[in-house]
Amino acid sequence: MLEGAFQVFDRRLRPDIAVPIGVAFSGGGDSLLTLKTACAWAARHERPVIAFHVDHRLQAGGGAWARTARAASARLGARFIELSWDGDKPATGLPAAARAARHRLIAEAARDAGARVVVFGHTADDRIEAGLMRDAGLRMGDMREWSPSPVWPEGRGVFCLRPLLSARRAAIRDLLAAQGETWIDDPMNQDPRSPRARARPAASMAPSLSQSEDDGGLARLAALATFGPGGGISLARSALRTAERGVARRLIGAACVCAGGAPGPGRRDRIEAMTERLVRLNDVVGTLSGAKVIASDTVLFIRDAGEARRGGLAPLHLAPGQTGIWDGRFEITAAAAPVLVAGLAGHAGSLDRDQRRRLKSLPASIRPGLPLIIPKDGAPTCPILAEGSGVEVRPLVAERFAAACGVISKEPAV
């Protein structure tokens, strides 16, 4: 079990960089073995480890659990960072909201600490439970050994690593007990109101799922894509039609969510329907996950400017020196003056002559979704078309797409 985990670390992490490795550490058995293994691997390569502990403020014993987790982290040589999910909790969908909050808090803390990878203690049992929950009609993603953080934009540039996906929960606890370890047992795992708790007894008796994670076909298909200045993604229609259907579906889902700037993928049935249209029909125009899909010989995924009527492309106010994410597609930092970032739709006439000329060289379909910088004093500018807009802009679409499609398959170099 441990040897397999070390092989995962060797495959996915870089031994020769000094940035910290993050570990999601609840104090439970699975996360305890994960932290122990991560610390042992990191010690071989002189890399620091940070244990991120989230108190969801849902259990009376949360404070005591944090103290236990802090002590275990100190004993194992990891820096400990405690996070909390404060504020009102939803009346429905609490487990899903808690998972999202945990990922969001950890991703933000990891980025602040300089960690590019966070190790999670998910096991073979977790994968089986997720499958049973999907069969029951819940939206649950499939856990993979390596994947980008599931929260956006908080998780940009952060990857999740799961080295224990082939290990069974009972075997982990047997190993920890043999090592004289103790761990926290969350009573929510036995609460019949929890979908995961209801799936757990059946999962414990089920055989492990296949560990096939060959994303090579998806990465090769994604490498054929090109990117426009406004964040559009283009791919030859023939490449989609000749790809294995599951690979085409995953790429289409990723392209829509990245080009559309959505926080997460659309419903699986809608992605499958779009895949069928793109593979079987001739010309196609449709929308999915905030993206507009236009297909003839080439498939173009662009921001659906019509989303503005449904709350998309919302304006962003930035103070001097402040960084924000506009529309899920651009990281924008204001310079010495405050600015307002908005969509270009309806404002093209406010641009100067040179910008209007450059704008005409771009396909009409992408123009409305471009960012417009409106300073407190001065003329509006589009940073995609002109210098001197008073901001620093970093496009996020290509990087996010590469991560989602497995093109980035190991810890990025610093």
- Distances in Å between the Cα of 411 and the Cα atoms of 15, 115, 154 are 10, 10, 18
- Distances in Å between the Cα of 37 and the Cα atoms of 23, 34, 67, 206, 404 are 10, 5, 21, 26, 26
Distance CA 33, CA 172 (A): 7
Q: Kindly provide the residue ranges of all beta strands, DSSP E only, lying in 134-210, ordered along the sequence.
A: 146-148, 159-161
The tokens for 150 are: 């599931």
Distance CA 301, CA 279 (A): 15
Q: Is the pLDDT of residue 24 over 80?
A: yes
Q: What is the pLDDT of residue 250?
A: 96
Averaged pLDDT for residues 189-210 = 73
Q: Could you tell me where the DSSP H helices lie in 281-407?
A: 353-360, 397-404
Q: How confident is the model at residue 96 (pLDDT cuts 50, 70, 90)?
A: confident
pLDDT digits (tens, 9 = 90+) for 361-375: 998 999 999 999 999
Instruction: Please provide the average confidence, as pLDDT, over all residues in the chain.
Output: 92
Q: What is the pLDDT of residue 205?
A: 72
Distance CA 391, CA 383 (A): 8
pLDDT digits (tens, 9 = 90+) for 296-338: 999 999 999 888 767 778 999 999 999 999 999 999 999 989 9
